[in-house]
Structure 1
Amino acid sequence: MQIISTMRPLSKYHPQKWNLFKKPSSQISPMLFFVYLLIVSLDVIESQFLVNTLPGFDGDLPFTLETGYIGVGEPDDVQLFYYFIESQGNPKEDPLMLWLTGGPGCSALSGLLFEIGPFTFDYAKSTLEKPILEINPYSWTKAASIIFLDQPAGSGFSYARSPHAYTTNDALSTKHAYSFLKKWLVDHPKFLNHALYLGGDSYMGIVLPMIVQEIYNGNKVKEEIKINLKGYILGNPLTDTSGNYNARIPFAHRMALLSDAIYKSANENCHGDYLNVAPNNGCCLHELIVLDKCIGHIYKPQILEPYCDTTNSLKSDLFRRALRAFDYTSVNILGLPQVQKQGCRDDNYIYSSAWANSRDVREALHISEEFSDIEWVRCNETLFFEYGEEAISYTHNVLSTVDYHRRFADKNCRALIYSGDHDMVVPY
């Protein structure tokens, strides 16, 4: 199938680099000149394309999809890739949302395909050679325009132009996302006055509240633009590192995965702390072994789903001192002869890797040629946080965001925090 994707013409708000410093015409309106100056101060967006068709979908897309890169950091070393889907309801009045997927290091395409986006895979018809897309009737884009952002660098199709720029942490990731948002709004001035909501899940419970704070700080000191922030949404969010981890044991007890006797013994010997165990606390270490035997083979992201030992999923053990969100890396996907169906959620994830690594898909999405030799993975393992282990690329340097939520209470900020009751990775 021939892929037709047209480059969006540069708007009057997006002048070419070569004429940025020409004297403005006297015919330019004050508002247009103001936006013009903002573009000069914030730099120019790297690329911006309208995507009319996608491999695996029959016909033209029934919604507006834009993709592009925006450079952040110094000197724009980090190239953040985004998917923007305009509201299918009333795009002139519906709110704008920036959606961030957890991990850290999981692609925005995961949130788009498997969570809240307008299309997903037709599993009954898909093969690894030809994944088929279908419309998601429950997409949030029916009520909002949504930017799905690959962040930080190393997530999805986002990348860095220098090796050191791949090294990041919670605070730096926050600043990059905030910088991205300001630049995107400057390049899309018709959305400047729209109500803005931030949304995310899992590990974004750490980063997203910090971005909210950055926006409030920027508005207070009257930075380049004022962002019309109205609230934020978090699903199954990590909020406090030790509290989240230690909550898994009482959760397992409440859900009848641990007997009263085992839970009581573990709680007494470990004093409710299963994360920071003293080496000389032999009783608690013994309890961890017992607990692992009880719940070590339960599928922790959704305890009612089967635990599958598949060759295409990254296994995670509760007591490896690893804090992982519902975010596993698919590996060697294209080398699999077929999907081994076991009723596992990971069976469905492999289609995303086959699809995103297709040359036709990359051409349709206008993925940068600088990314051409890099394999797309749903979640980048090198960005995961491993408690007690030296960070590879991502340092978990903010342990709790509880105080952020407290501070937002007096800012007339709407908040929705929802948490499923079958998730043992980030328990309710």
Structure 2
Amino acid sequence: MFYYFIKSESNPEEDPLLVWLTGGPGCSSFFGLVYENGPLAFKVKAYNGSIPTLFSTTYSWTKVANIIYLDQPVGTGFSYSKNPLADIPSDTGSAKRVDEFLRKWLAKHPEYFSNPFYVTGNSYAGKVIPAIVHEISNGNCICCKPQINLQGYVLGSPVTDPDLDTNSRIQFAHGMALISDELYELYGYKLSEYWVNKESVRRALKVVEGTTGKWVRCKWSLQVNKDIKSSIPYHKKNSIEGYRSLIISGDHDMLTPYVGTQDWIRSLNYSIIDKWTPWMIHDQVAGYTTTYANKMTFATVKGGGHTLEYKPEESSILFKRWISGQPL
């Protein structure tokens, strides 16, 4: 399983350790690194055949956390299998593989044993992450070493339940104007493919030669058994175990509209601790938030879309406040 590990820019010895999973299924975590919450991004300009230029961002979550950006399931990004007869990846199988990966990674990096650990990601990862949290929790209790200092999880615009997610689109469209074509079509995505597929870049990333062909941002042809029909039961189990969770929704996301996300959160039937209220940045409303008795915080990002790239600075501030235990 291929990954990119970036240390916290603050205090890596004590700051939280995150694993970030991009959705799809079949989308590389490199997308999250350069388009959503990582310390690097591409300068968007006309491509002239050279290696695209990267620059440092100001909104990276690595300002306050160590992050493993993981390509999963196998077949995504630069992750590969040597076994030509390997089973088709599945949601539940992916949860087990990620748990196995994390324990092996920590065994090789014991300096991070005690860091608070969170499973994070967006979109289709919303189906798998609650199952990963459950898998890690079970492993900690039953058998597995090293122990993972699991504290909770963070989901951005999560795919959760097909009925709730899909049916909410009509409700959402009824109450909202559509976003512009210019915002929706974003021209910078190809730069990641140009950059990653340069031989010099692949050598620098230590990609094993011959294991994968051309890197693509999202491998839509990847066969995955979507055997988790709804992740709501996993959310219930994780709530019982007492794990913190932050659920983020862009209020202009029509793929998994916030109204559908609100519906499944309400279906958990936990009492409200802090009612629907705005959260602010510099005296401006940046979104709205509700806190529930199961340590779950729901927050919208004003003007946000399906991924964090639409409002990266606002999402970064939201994450930094939550991860440090501050009020939003």
| TM-score grouping bracket, smaller chain normalisation | 0.7 to 0.9
For the residues of structure 2 that align with 1:355 and 1:225, how far apart are their CA atoms?
36
Question: What are the ranges of 5 or more consecutive residues in structure 2 without an aligned counterpart?
Answer: 259-328
CA deviation after TM superposition for structure 1 residue 408, in Å = 2.0
For the residues of structure 1 that align with 2:164 and 2:215, how far apart are their CA atoms?
33
Give the 3 Å change call, closer, same or farther, for CA 101–207 of structure 1 in structure 2. same
Give the structure-1-normalised TM-score. Answer: 0.58
1:27-46 aligned within 5 A: none
1:190 corresponds to 2:29: no
1:382 matched residue in structure 2: 221
1:304 corresponds to 2:179: yes
CA deviation after TM superposition for structure 1 residue 412, in Å = 2.4
For the residues of structure 2 that align with 1:253 and 1:128, how far apart are their CA atoms?
44
1:155 corresponds to 2:73: no
For the residues of structure 1 that align with 2:256 and 2:23, how far apart are their CA atoms?
12
Q: Which amino acid aligns with 2:107?
A: V
For the residues of structure 2 that align with 1:97 and 1:364, how far apart are their CA atoms?
23
Give the structure-2-normalised TM-score. Answer: 0.75
1:405 corresponds to 2:235: yes
For the residues of structure 1 that align with 2:35 and 2:184, how far apart are their CA atoms?
14
Give the 3 Å change call, closer, same or farther, for CA 111–128 of structure 1 in structure 2. farther
SS in 1 for 2:203: helix
For the residues of structure 1 that align with 2:155 and 2:48, how far apart are their CA atoms?
33
1:115 to 36, 41, 46: 36
RMSD after superposition:
1.6
1:173 to 94, 98, 101: 94
1:93 to 11, 14, 39: 14
Q: Which amino acid aligns with 2:256?
A: V
1:349 corresponds to 2:189: yes
Q: Which amino acid aligns with 1:381?
A: W
1:262-301 aligned within 5 A: none
1:395 matched residue in structure 2: 225
2:253 matched residue in structure 1: 423
For the residues of structure 1 that align with 2:100 and 2:6, how far apart are their CA atoms?
20
1:137 to 58, 81, 86: 58
For the residues of structure 2 that align with 1:400 and 1:414, how far apart are their CA atoms?
20
Q: Which amino acid aligns with 1:365?
A: L
For the residues of structure 1 that align with 2:58 and 2:154, how far apart are their CA atoms?
21
CA deviation after TM superposition for structure 1 residue 245, in Å = 1.2
* Count of residue pairs the alignment pairs up: 258
For the residues of structure 2 that align with 1:82 and 1:146, how far apart are their CA atoms?
10
For the residues of structure 2 that align with 1:120 and 1:378, how far apart are their CA atoms?
15
1:106 corresponds to 2:27: yes
Q: Which amino acid aligns with 1:201?
A: N
For the residues of structure 2 that align with 1:423 and 1:154, how far apart are their CA atoms?
27
CA deviation after TM superposition for structure 1 residue 219, in Å = 1.0
2:154 and 2:247 in contact (8 A); partners too: yes
2:51 and 2:198 in contact (8 A); partners too: no
1:287 matched residue in structure 2: none
For the residues of structure 2 that align with 1:189 and 1:345, how far apart are their CA atoms?
43
SS in 1 for 2:221: helix
CA deviation after TM superposition for structure 1 residue 225, in Å = 1.9
Task: Find the structure with the greater CA-based Rg.
Answer: 1
1:363 matched residue in structure 2: 203
1:243 to 158, 161, 164: 164
CA deviation after TM superposition for structure 1 residue 398, in Å = 0.9
Give the 3 Å change call, closer, same or farther, for CA 166–410 of structure 1 in structure 2. closer
1:83 and 1:147 in contact (8 A); partners too: yes
1:94 and 1:194 in contact (8 A); partners too: yes
For the residues of structure 2 that align with 1:226 and 1:345, how far apart are their CA atoms?
43
2:130 and 2:238 in contact (8 A); partners too: no
CA deviation after TM superposition for structure 1 residue 129, in Å = 2.6
For the residues of structure 2 that align with 1:135 and 1:229, how far apart are their CA atoms?
30
CA deviation after TM superposition for structure 1 residue 344, in Å = 5.7
CA deviation after TM superposition for structure 1 residue 381, in Å = 1.0
1:221-236 aligned within 5 A: 221-236=142-157
For the residues of structure 1 that align with 2:194 and 2:180, how far apart are their CA atoms?
24
CA deviation after TM superposition for structure 1 residue 395, in Å = 1.4
CA deviation after TM superposition for structure 1 residue 410, in Å = 2.8
Identity %: 46
